[in-house]
Amino acid sequence: MPASPSVMTTRRGEFRRLYRELRRRPALFARTPVLFCEGDSWFSTPLAMNLLDWLVYPTPEDEARGVPLAGAGGLFFRAEDSGDLATGMFAPRALADLAGWYGAFEFDLVLVSAGGNDFVGAFLARLFARAQPTTPEAALARVEASGRFEQVRAAYARMIARFRALRPGTPILAHSYDYPQRLGVPARLTVENVGLAALLQDRLGPWIAQPMARALPQPQAQRRFAALLIDAFVERVLEPLRREHAGFHYADLRGTLASPGLWFDEMHPTGAGFHALAAKLRPAIRRLLPEQKRG
């Protein structure tokens, strides 16, 4: 057995069984982090080892040194799904389902990846459908005037309030996204990276460059707009939530992946890219876990 095994669970019933077995071993339970994870494709993409995979599974080097997630492995409840929007996953009905699971078990930390999809794809296509060529700054002002930042912040606030009501002392950790380096590059789906599902659909995206092509026809302007959008997500969503809600935290991952080679497509890093992001997220997780579970 590895020095510090981590446990990945995707099916809810599987998590329940593992949790019950863990509770039957008080000494092991006392040192094993139990994390509630909800998010989008940065936690769930099958294109490579994603951000959450790197937290669940230690690298061989980390394993040899006995330092995976938090030094002692962990049990993960995984509810993430690619394409999810914060406004959808934290809508009242969906949130009620999540809260039912969250309230039934003793979690040490809530890990959230949400909000990126709310500002791209169909949202941008609708907002800029008839737009004339403009500047990145003016394009961002149009997004701000749409009220989208307030909608996403309100969705997060609903989740925070519901979860804090159930477990006031359990911290919630979100993260920023990083600046994309391959604007206009779609996700290439192959049998090798996603299995037979690739036979039905061989590409996804682009989610930013394509809907912004009329308003921002130049790739450099599209990259500037994407960077402004990511900064605004931190400044208008994550930072206000951190100030206004005790127990809410976020890890700033901006500026980590400056090389295009660390990006698989327009919005998703490669496995190596996600590994670099996980290296920045892991210390934030450790700081928020109970001391006896930090390894």
3 lies in some domain: no
Let me know if residue 93 belongs to a domain: yes
What is residue 34's three-state secondary structure? strand
Q: Is 15 helix (H, G, I), strand (E, B) or coil?
A: helix
Q: Please report whether residue 231 resides in a domain.
A: yes
User: What is the reported pLDDT for 234?
Assistant: 98
Q: How far apart are CA 48 and CA 267, in angstroms?
A: 13
Closest Cα partner for 118 from 83, 91, 71, 75? 83
**Residue 151: band (very low, low, confident or very high) from pLDDT cuts 50, 70, 90:** very high
- Domain assignment present for residue 7? The answer is no
Distances (CA, A) of 150 to 16, 111, 122, 140: 35, 21, 18, 14
Spatial contact of 254 and 178, defined as CB atoms under 8 Å apart: yes
Residue 174 belongs to a domain with what CATH number?
A: 3.40.50.1110
Residue 1 lies in a domain: no
Give the span between the Cα atoms of 213 and 207, in whole angstroms: 11
* pLDDT score of 194 more than 80: no
Query: What band does 191 get if pLDDT is binned at 50, 70 and 90?
Result: very low
- 71/243: higher pLDDT: 243
Give the Cα separation of 204 and 189 in Å (integer).
8
Q: Is 179 within a domain?
A: yes
Q: What pLDDT shows up at residue 196?
A: 38
* Pairwise CA distance, residues 279 & 178, whole Å: 14
pLDDT in tens, 94-150: 999 999 999 999 999 999 999 999 999 999 999 999 999 999 999 999 999 999 999
The pLDDT value given to residue 56: 82
Q: Establish if 6 belongs to a structural domain.
A: no
Q: Confirm if 285 and 69 have CB atoms less than 8 A apart.
A: yes
Structural domain of residue 26, as residue ranges?
Answer: 12-293
**What is the reported pTM?**
0.90
| Residue whose pair of structure tokens reads 């939530």 in the numeric block | 241
Phi, psi of 173 (to 5 degrees): -120, 120
Q: How many domains does the chain have?
A: 1
Answer yes or no: is pLDDT of 295 > 90. no
| pLDDT digit string, tens, across residues 50-78 | 999 888 876 666 556 554 444 356 889 99
8-state DSSP, 112: E
- Residue that wins the pLDDT comparison between 93 and 187: 93
* 235: DSSP letter: I
Residue 198 lies in a domain: yes
The mean pLDDT value for 160-189 works out to: 91
